[in-house]
Structure 1
Amino acid sequence: MIVLSEDSQRTSGKDAQSMNITAGKAVAESVRTTLGPKGMDKMLVDSGGSVVVTNDGVTILKEMDIDHPAANMIVEVSETQENEVGDGTTSAVVVAGELLDQAEELIDSEIHATTIAQGYREAAEKAKDILETEAIEVSADDRDTLVEIATTAMTGKGAEGAKDHLAELVVDAVLAVEDDDGIDLDNVDVETVVGGSIDESELVEGVIVDKERVDENMPYFAEDANIALFDGAFEVKETEIDAEVNVTDPSQLQEFLDQEEEQLKEMVDQLADAGVDVVFVGDGIDDMAQHYLAQEGIIAARRAKNSDLKALARATGGRVVSNLDDLTEDDLGFAGSVTQKDIGGDERLFVEDVEDAKSVTLVVRGSTDHVVDEVERAIEDSLGVVRATLEDGKVLPGGGAPETELALQLRDFADSVGGREQLAVEAFADALEVIPRTLAENAGLDSIDSLVSLRSQHDGGDFTAGLDAYSGNVIDMENEGVVEPLRVKTQAIESATEAAVMILRIDDVIAAGDLSGGQVGDDDDDGPDMPGGGGMGGGMGGMGGMGGMGGAM
């Protein structure tokens, strides 16, 4: 009996599991060489010829054209890690891939996928408990540690040459926007400028608005400025109903024009009477209003975005008003200076020297577009980890130290787990060691020797012992200042485990339509599919379709 349509495809049992595992491992393998301070970069070229050069895991996976549904589950791991913490995306994906690899061996040994999934979940919970216990407490006042965390997040990325300088800026930015409600990184605006060196990047304690003053006769600079934020149009209001006016004399027309001018003059007088030096308007500004504003020496910018108005209100302490009749001195914001400056060939308004700026701007400079983009990605990762540290107050040593410790303790824990789940817990422990092993490989070191040294140190009770990718020695990572937030590791383990378990539990894939496909670039359409799913053609090409899927049931 034929139940499925002729175009449908079905793969079940071990074939389905093998296909999905192979796809997940291929995704993990694609970013594995980017891990660590000596990780390599990837060049991604899209169909339009745009080039991205990066070693940021989530960026690589987003830019790749991945079609395979199981492979996309691994991509989601990196996206979750990015959204929750901001860093550790590559680690999460690599661990997920290794969990699948270890599971494949267990499946070949006739261990049921459900048993493996149960063992993985138990191991993940135990791993998170161990990390919580071993984590190092950090005070929010410990600026040195915050800088070290920001520096660690940038190590091995395009910003490494100026990581010390940038780390200081990142910590200053996060501390500036922290308030009673927590830390909202939307209040840290990152502006990129092509030109100059990374060392010239700076933190503006205030807002840079991508606007110019509307009239050349307005001043370039206002000191100790009172700032009005008006979310409306600086124009004469139109009537709400259609009206027709018959003019029988030229003087009547002039009266209408004079009346419009008078209305605009009154609006400007309202600002002047309130002591306004600068006004940001959400809509347009009439030409005559621009003239009167210039006469009063008021700097004005039009069509400011809502996000800019909100940032200005937060930075200057002002309030956005929708009706100028409601404007009072209490609604005005204050800034030590408002200046129109040239930045990267564009004229922008700098609102800075604010006493307690809760909205700040990081100006990132670099010699080329590719450099600036990669530095921006490194800074965003760094902002995320500093925020996570301030919120949780706990950190872990880097250099593969947590993973080595977890592998050691989980092997002991496996002895207390009954049944075949014990084998899954041991496999989980082996999978975690992919992190120190990969760090060693990417640094050109002997991974076996490095792993043996790490295990020896941790066996002796040295939790903070990690691998120095530069010297090849096992050193105290806490003393060296190589630390990262607890949440980076716990989230990576949680996300990787959930994705691996979900993939392992799939034993039947039913696809509507023909999703099979060989490796990208195959000339023969009838050629053999890549076992267990299409390959990654052209180095960074798309993941192939669900190759190897059988015919209709």
Structure 2
Amino acid sequence: MALAFDDFGRPFIILREQESKSRLRGLDAHKANVAAGKAVARSLRTSLGPKGMDKILQSPDGDVTISNCSTALSHSPPNDGATILEQMDVDNQIAKLMVELSRSQDYEIGDGTTGVVVLAGSLLEQAEKLLERGIHPIRIAEGYEMASKIAFDHLEHISTRFEFTAANIEPLVQTCMTTLSSKIVNRCKRMLAEIAVRAVLAVADLERKDVNLDLIKVEGKVGGKLEDTELIYGIAVDKDMSHPQMPKRIEDANIAILTCPFEPPKPKTKHKVDIDTVEKFQTMRGQEQKYFDEMVQKCKDVGATLVICQWGFDDEANHLLMQRNLPAVRWVGGVELELIAIATGGRIVPRFQELTPDKLGQAGLVREKSFGTTKDRMLCIERCANSRAVTIFIRGGNKMMIEEAKRSIHDALCVARNLIRNNSIVYGGGSAEISCSVAVEAAADRYAGAEQYAIRSFADALDGIPLALAENSGLPPIDTLTAVKSQQIQENNPYCGIDCNDVGTNDMREQHVFETLIGKQQQILLATQVVKMILKIDDVITPSEF
């Protein structure tokens, strides 16, 4: 960078970007890419498992966040790998690929975001050793692809199916409890798991094995305890009645959902109104009153007993609505308005002239919920005509707990959805990875060529997950892993894993530690695909200081 001056003496800056760039090719580029991916995985490795360590993150504006910690100094602590990576300031392009990997796992499955990054880091670490031995990256990638298919099929072999119904939700609850075990809300994991399962079953189509999570709304309100969290079979809106004297409870409500305001039409900007006498003012006021009367009367004529409006209305319209005994709610957001329309079976009406009785939504109960001695209120629309829409209402002592509980509930909802799509499970605690590692190692002898080395390295990389679990639990990692792997082989028991919680048994069936089959398969496939992508990059332009 240099400072120069133009003909008029004005300074300008010359950037010599090309001089500060260097080009990495071949093996140097591969090693640089692997190092960047390993650095991201190393930062998350110690956070894996129910006893994972915390991370402290400092934002550019100075806010400090401690992950997985109830004493966080900011309002938004991360609870899993995807959230930690999103808050990290990542500049390297390969590191950004790892962030996208975690985000993809979170979007597809909702759980296993830390494990997928740790697995990818282990694969890159093993690939680095193969690169130093002179094996071509393409051969490594092909070997990893073969090994991932072996692991994928083996997961199908060791998976367990369980049948559940709306009356027997215990298997779903147990699996969701496994997801919540490593979160800050684990003291209430049983209650939150039951709420998540009931919410998913309320919106699920069990015949088609389909779940629309958009019908589940998660709301939070500061105050109370986490134990006060409840499931509302309907919609909860963070609004209250527009007038304090309006009724707070409406039975068998007919709801008019409007996107038009209770106010007279406004004149165009190029026009103006001159009022210079009392008579003109009275005439204008009477005309406004007429507009208000017509709007309210149209709502009353179609049989509406509650009006929910996207826009606001002034005090005169509000007072008139109260006098005409027509409760109203104003300033309801567009997303909430759509949820209310879905739940009540109503239609969103853009103009009063289009309001008809068949466009009204029906709800068995609309009530205003207040919170203790505070003035906070919330509107609950329950027993709706289309009751598939539900709301999980979370309470907590501060905003940090609310946000943490929301993310934890999201993970549990995704796990329950995946189990409804495919009710196959594998057992956690690293047991599935150890079993796959043994199977991949045994299958490597069937392949000739350099791919055999990559397949064996894939098996070693799978051991990275149980090693990290043992290390984070304070156990001797190598001794613990070899003991568990030997137990699996001798007893032919693929359910033996790492006893992270010191229960006294390595059998994950007895500990009720479950994971969804499709989640574990997706974890292995995503990690393999991203590592293959990184290995195929052989030309990188980076700043010289890198």
Please tell me the TM-score bracket, short chain as reference.
0.7 to 0.9
Moved more, 230-239 or 306-315: 230-239
In the alignment, is the contact (CA less than 8 A) between 1:454 and 1:474 conserved in 2?
no
1:122 Cα deviation after fit: 1.0
CA distance in 1, matches of 2:164, 2:503: 32
2:66 aligned residue? 53
In the alignment, is the contact (CA less than 8 A) between 2:102 and 2:116 conserved in 1?
yes
Is 1:35 paired with 2:48?
A: yes
Write out per-residue CA displacement over residues 35-57 of structure 1, whole angstroms, 9 at most, x where no aligned residue: 11111222222121223332411
1:289 Cα deviation after fit: 2.3
Is 1:130 paired with 2:161?
A: no
- Equivalent residue runs for 1:499-510 within 5 Å: 499-510=530-541
1:273 Cα deviation after fit: 2.7
What is the count of residue pairs matched by the alignment? 512
2:340 to 281, 288, 312: 312
- Equivalent residue runs for 1:84-123 within 5 Å: 84-123=108-147
Write out per-residue CA displacement over residues 227-278 of structure 1, whole angstroms, 9 at most, x where no aligned residue: 2111222222346796677889854653443233123212212222333222
Write out per-residue CA displacement over residues 430-473 of structure 1, whole angstroms, 9 at most, x where no aligned residue: 10111111111111112223212321232232122222211265
CA distance in 2, matches of 1:43, 1:198: 24
In the alignment, is the contact (CA less than 8 A) between 1:450 and 1:472 conserved in 2?
no
- Equivalent residue runs for 1:264-303 within 5 Å: 264-303=292-331
CA distance in 2, matches of 1:58, 1:244: 56
1:217 Cα deviation after fit: 2.9
CA distance in 2, matches of 1:282, 1:106: 61
1:158 Cα deviation after fit: 0.3
2:179 aligned residue? 153
1:205 aligned residue? 233
CA distance in 1, matches of 2:459, 2:341: 51
1:314 Cα deviation after fit: 1.8
1:164 Cα deviation after fit: 0.3
Is 1:170 paired with 2:170?
A: no
Gaps of 5+ in 2: 1-16, 68-78
Partner SS for 2:369 = strand
Q: Which amino acid aligns with 1:383?
A: L
In the alignment, is the contact (CA less than 8 A) between 2:247 and 2:327 conserved in 1?
yes
2:352 to 320, 324, 327: 324
Moved more, 357-366 or 63-72: 357-366
1:497 Cα deviation after fit: 0.9
CA distance in 1, matches of 2:287, 2:36: 72
In the alignment, is the contact (CA less than 8 A) between 1:197 and 1:366 conserved in 2?
yes
Partner SS for 2:420 = helix
2:33 aligned residue? 20
1:139 Cα deviation after fit: 3.4
**Identity across the alignment (%):** 40
Cα gap change, 1:505/1:248 in structure 2, threshold over 3 Å: closer, same or farther? closer
2:435 to 364, 388, 405: 405
1:524 aligned residue? none
- Equivalent residue runs for 1:139-538 within 5 Å: 139=163, 141=165, 142-179=168-205, 182-238=210-266, 251=279, 254-343=282-371, 346-354=376-384, 356-459=386-489, 460-471=491-502, 473-511=504-542, 515-517=543-545
Partner SS for 1:466 = coil
In the alignment, is the contact (CA less than 8 A) between 1:279 and 1:300 conserved in 2?
yes
Cα gap change, 1:356/1:244 in structure 2, threshold over 3 Å: closer, same or farther? closer
Partner SS for 1:427 = helix
CA distance in 2, matches of 1:424, 1:472: 36
Q: Which amino acid aligns with 1:52?
A: T
CA distance in 2, matches of 1:37, 1:245: 69
Cα gap change, 1:269/1:198 in structure 2, threshold over 3 Å: closer, same or farther? same
In the alignment, is the contact (CA less than 8 A) between 2:306 and 2:326 conserved in 1?
yes
CA distance in 1, matches of 2:211, 2:423: 14
Q: Normalised by the size of structure 1, how large is the TM-score?
A: 0.87
1:222 Cα deviation after fit: 1.9
2:12 aligned residue? none
Query: What is the RMSD of the two structures over their aligned residues, measured on CA atoms?
Result: 2.3
Write out per-residue CA displacement over residues 303-341 of structure 1, whole angstroms, 9 at most, x where no aligned residue: 211101111112222222222333333322223332333
Cα gap change, 1:488/1:341 in structure 2, threshold over 3 Å: closer, same or farther? same
Cα gap change, 1:371/1:284 in structure 2, threshold over 3 Å: closer, same or farther? closer
CA distance in 1, matches of 2:283, 2:201: 57
1:191 Cα deviation after fit: 1.8
2:57 aligned residue? 44
In the alignment, is the contact (CA less than 8 A) between 2:434 and 2:463 conserved in 1?
yes
Q: Which amino acid aligns with 2:178?
A: T
CA distance in 1, matches of 2:52, 2:507: 21
CA distance in 1, matches of 2:276, 2:228: 65
Cα gap change, 1:454/1:263 in structure 2, threshold over 3 Å: closer, same or farther? same
Partner SS for 1:237 = coil
Q: Normalised by the size of structure 2, how large is the TM-score?
A: 0.88
Partner SS for 2:163 = coil
Partner SS for 2:497 = strand
Cα gap change, 1:413/1:386 in structure 2, threshold over 3 Å: closer, same or farther? same
Q: Which amino acid aligns with 2:245?
A: N
CA distance in 1, matches of 2:420, 2:54: 30
